[in-house]
Amino acid sequence: MISISIIHVKVTKSLLGSKSSHYAAQKHKNNNDLLSACVYICSMSKNKINRIDKGLEVVDINTQGMGVAKSAEGIVYFISKVVPGDVVDVTVYKKKRGYFEAQPLKFIKESPHRVEAVCAHFGVCGGCKWQHFSYAAQLDSKEKGVLRNLKDIGKVEIETVLPIAGADPHSYYRNKMEFSFSNRRWLTTEEIQSEELIERNGLGFHKPNMWDKVVDINQCHLQPEPSNGIRNAIRTYALENKLDFFDPVAQSGFLRTLMIRNTMAGEFMVLLQFFKEDKAQRIGLLDWIGKQFPQITSLLYCINGKGNDSLYDQEIICHSGQDFITEQLGALTFKITAKSFYQTNPKQALTLYTIAKEFAALESTDTVYDLYTGTGTIALFLAPHCKKIIGIESVADAIKAAAENAKNNGIENAVFEVGDMKNSFNADFIQRHGKARVVITDPPRNGMHPDVVQQLLDLAPERIVYVSCNSATQARDIEMMKNDYAVLKSQAVDMFPQTHHVENVVLLQRKANHAS
């Protein structure tokens, strides 16, 4: 029979080099079930390999932030911590269908596009995966990716491609961050091997592919201060006052999540989710936060004991201040609540909507449809430039917010309707509101339903401005319309520096031989 001491040696020394053993050791550290850890490691090892390949040139970077290389034999490699232009020797550690996963062993040549990642959590927390890639090269890669999708998937020719609209600044640009409390903090290899008592509570982001682990964050470079100060102070208070951090496996604890929202004018909203009510502890924490950070405009909480931490069905309670913050978009003012959708890069949102307005080339007599209107930001931004604009959206709370924002901004020519797009955007809708000369569409990542595309073709507007956060599904939809519409313009907008995400705006013009 294998002794526990032998298993301990194998888990903590021989096997800690791999990601699966790292996870297994963490998973079984609390209950010292080291035999289970070894069984888990063995079950994960069937795709593990150990080989060295040399002289690979990295030619691309994927959505996971891994460099892409191809050997002379045609083998594809996804390599961590490299960027296009690097030439490396690699250690291959996993075989997947169609490619190998590898890590750099030696840099033969470093890419001119390589930069030093500024974040101490880079490569661990799962965010900002392109931090080691120069910003100019990020923009180039995003623009090429969009155009490749439009040409390869959409099979269309683009008359004018405008340069990608880069973001400034490249960091501290987000106006919303969500953090999770957990009593199962992700541990480094050094912490696992340490004989010292390790603090297991943490406040941060979920570790990719490990739903029950949270990476404790000290400094995030995405949201302006005092975001880091607020988060770190709350964690310190919770530890010092022995408040229970959430246990995602046992579904127990007190502190669940923290959301911080801000505006460009410097207003801050803080929302704490508690898994259960403890009035004394709740009031003590919230009062302390308010005193430490008087710049918080809106201090909110909710008690959420359900199986997930989504807010849409929760009662949000205002502890102090007001229950909203206010953002400015050009001449418009938007009231943002805890549940409101609003573009997370507000400065670039203005750039995006300005491009959409220029592409639309609206006339004062135009009737305009805004499909997938959300909270009506694009519709309200365009309303002063047309006769009437009608927004449609499936989320009732979003439509309520859109109507309220229209009223608050004194806009009377914007109308909003609740409806599932594929069912509600139909002949009756057109009959009620009149035929639109221009249609704006900004669907979710999965693009437009084929029925919506067909209804657009039946409507036959003169112009369609298609805003998308996924150029692959955008290209797929445009391919279905290419017989009737020409692609006049395309312009990418970088809303999320240091990531692969990019928005794209396309102008479709109805072809003369298909005029209605």
Reference 486, options 157, 148, 149; nearest CA is 157
**Separation in Å, CA 196 to CA 3, 21, 217:** 24, 20, 21
Distance from C-alpha of 213 to C-alpha of 202, rounded to nearest angstrom: 9
- Reading the chain (516 residues) residue by residue, the pLDDT tens digits are 333 333 333 333 333 334 444 444 444 444 333 433 443 444 444 567 788 999 999 999 987 888 999 998 999 999 999 999 999 999 999 998 899 999 999 999 999 999 999 999 998 988 899 999 999 999 999 999 999 999 999 999 999 999 999 999 999 999 999 999 999 999 988 888 888 888 999 999 999 888 889 999 999 999 999 999 999 999 999 999 999 999 999 999 999 999 999 999 999 999 999 999 999 999 999 999 999 999 999 999 999 999 999 998 999 999 999 999 999 999 999 999 999 888 999 999 999 999 999 999 999 999 999 999 999 999 999 999 999 999 999 988 889 999 999 999 999 999 999 999 999 999 999 999 999 999 999 999 999 999 999 999 999 999 999 999 999 999 999 999 999 999 999 999 999 999 999 999 999 999 986 555
CA-CA distance, 496 to 348, in Å (whole number)?
9
Q: Model's pTM, two decimal places?
A: 0.86
- The answer to whether position 336 is within a domain reads no
The partner residues of 252 in beta bridges, in order of sequence, read: 247
Identify the helix (H) or strand (E) that includes residue 230: helix 227-240
Contacting residues for 300 by C-beta, under 8 A, at least 6 apart: 269, 270, 271, 272, 316, 317, 318, 319, 323, 338
Domain termination site, one of 267, 302, 329: 329
Q: What is the pLDDT of residue 26?
A: 44
What order do you get walking across the sheet with 438-441 strand by strand?
158-165, 485-493, 503-510, 463-468, 438-441, 367-371, 388-393, 414-418
Q: What angle do CA 440, 415, 395 make, to 5 degrees?
A: 75
Last residue of a domain, one of 329, 353, 371: 329
Residue 292, CA distances (Å) to 218, 277, 278, 280, 487 in order: 18, 23, 21, 18, 54
Rounded CA gap, 142 and 77, in Å? 20
> Residue 47's pLDDT is what?
66
CA distances from 117 to 66, 131, 142, 454 (A): 14, 5, 19, 46
Q: Are residues 291 and 314 located together in one domain of the fold?
A: yes
Quick check: 192 and 220 in contact, CB under 8 A? no
Tell me the CATH number at 469: 3.40.50.150
Quote the tokens at residue 248. Answer: 């995602």
* Domain harbouring 291, CATH code: 2.40.50.1070
Q: Phi then psi for 76, rounded to 5 degrees?
A: -95, 135
474: nearest Cα among 454, 448, 512, 500: 448
127: nearest Cα among 24, 219, 25, 235: 219
Rounded to 5 degrees, what are φ and ψ at 9? Answer: -60, -45
Domain termination residue (choose one: 303, 329, 355): 329
Residue 129 lies in a domain: no
Residues 398, 419, single domain; the answer is yes
CA distance to 222, 244, 436, 477, per residue, from 252 (Å): 30, 9, 53, 45
- Both 57 and 202 in one domain: the answer is no
Residue 447 near residue 476, CB atoms below 8 Å: yes
Catalytic residue among 119, 125, 128, 469: 469
CA-derived radius of gyration, the chain: 26
263 and 199 within one domain: yes
Q: Are residues 302 and 439 in the same domain?
A: no
One domain, residues 256 and 323: yes
Q: Establish if 126 belongs to a structural domain.
A: no
Q: Tell me the residue range of the domain where 34 lies.
A: 4-109
Residue 469 bears catalytic tag: yes
What digits encode the pLDDT tens for the residues 214-247? Answer: 999 999 999 999 999 999 999 999 999 999 999 9
User: Both 370 and 466 in a single domain?
Assistant: yes
What's 92's domain CATH number? 2.40.50.140
Same domain, 223 and 322: yes
For the chain, the domain total comes to: 3
- Predicted confidence at residue 369, as pLDDT, reads 98
- 245 inside domain: yes
Do 165 and 193 sit in the same domain of this protein? no
Domain-embedded: residue 235 = yes
Count of other CB atoms within 10 angstroms of residue 306: 10
Indicate if 165 and 180 belong to the same structural domain: no
CB atoms within 10 A of CB 60: 15
- Interatomic CA distance for residues 248 and 250, integer angstroms: 6
- Are residue 204 and residue 152 in the same domain, yes or no? no
